[in-house]
Amino acid sequence: MLKALLFDLDGTLADTDPLHLWAWREALAPWGIGVDEAFYRKRISGRLNPDILQDLLGLDGEAAAQIIEAKEARFRELAQDLKPMPGLLELLEEAQAKGLTWGVVTNAPKANAHHVLKALGLKPPLLVLAEEVGRGKPHPLPYQVALKRLGLLPTEALAFEDSPSGVRSAVGAGITTYGLLTGHGKEALLEAGARGVLRDFRQALALL
């Protein structure tokens, strides 16, 4: 029996990926790295910031932290007029009517997560931050923590993700997962383990 809906944040609750792409493009330009959509999908989307900086620049510690802080501050400057993904509010309203709870499970830094949720006017009963649980997606731990905090079995939840990394995380925790086609193609999401793909949440109402 379905009892909870679990959502990724960026690219799922709102289409924030274009803003992240812009902020990463500015942050990496001084290092001679150009960031287009293909590069963003392959090397950045769905990953933790420290892993991105280690991979792209070989940086960690304070040097990486300064770049990350500047990039995320720039993202928050850009993310002032966010709109919920089409159908999201209707889905949450229907879920509440059916007695379901919901939560957000994200690799996003704490400041970003709170900024985006505030901009969208959302107050999830559960917020799991990868940076606070010790492992980020694609590791299943963030979703395992979400299930534990809610006291649910994997079969009692549905997850919604927009990246292969996020899909692998949720599926790895045993949760049936649907992919949003905001940043990645159908094939990549299905290959990662998604049960199906959705253009937006208007297609998700039938899942409840």
- The percent of residues above 70 in pLDDT, for the chain, comes to 100
- Asked if omega into 140 is within 30° of 0 (cis), the reply is no
Compute the distance between CA of residue 151 and CA of residue 43 in angstroms, rounded to an integer: 34
* Per-residue pLDDT at 144: 98
Lowest mean pLDDT among 32-46, 91-105, 167-181: 32-46
Beta-bridge partners for 7: 104, 160
> 1: Cβ–Cβ under 8 A, 6 or more apart, which residues?
156
The structure tokens listed for 154 are 């994997």
User: Residue 160 phi/psi, 5° resolution?
Assistant: -130, 125
Active site includes 10? yes
Task: Place 172 in a pLDDT band, splitting at 50, 70 and 90.
Answer: very high
Averaged pLDDT for residues 119-124: 96
Beta-bridge partners for 114: none
* Per-residue pLDDT at 190: 98
Task: Place 194 in a pLDDT band, splitting at 50, 70 and 90.
Answer: very high
> Which residue blocks in the chain are alpha helix, DSSP H?
17-28, 37-39, 49-57, 61-78, 88-97, 110-120, 130-133, 141-150, 164-172, 186-191
Task: Place 183 in a pLDDT band, splitting at 50, 70 and 90.
Answer: confident
Cβ-in-10-Å burial (0-12, 13-18, 19+) of 196 comes to middle
Asked whether the predicted pLDDT for residue 124 surpasses 90, the reply is yes
Among candidate residues 149, 195, 132, 144, the one with its CA nearest the CA of residue 170: 144
Task: Place 105 in a pLDDT band, splitting at 50, 70 and 90.
Answer: very high
- Active-site hit among 8, 15, 17, 162: 8
- Active-site hit among 10, 15, 17, 162: 10
Task: Place 89 in a pLDDT band, splitting at 50, 70 and 90.
Answer: very high
Active site includes 17? no
| Per-residue pLDDT tens over the stretch 4-20 | 999 999 999 999 999 99
Asked whether the predicted pLDDT for residue 208 surpasses 90, the reply is yes
| Per-residue pLDDT tens over the stretch 43-79 | 999 888 999 999 999 999 999 999 999 999 999 999 9
* Per-residue pLDDT at 46: 84
CA-based torsion, 99, 168, 79, 74: positive or negative? positive
**Amino acid (one-letter) located at 152:** L
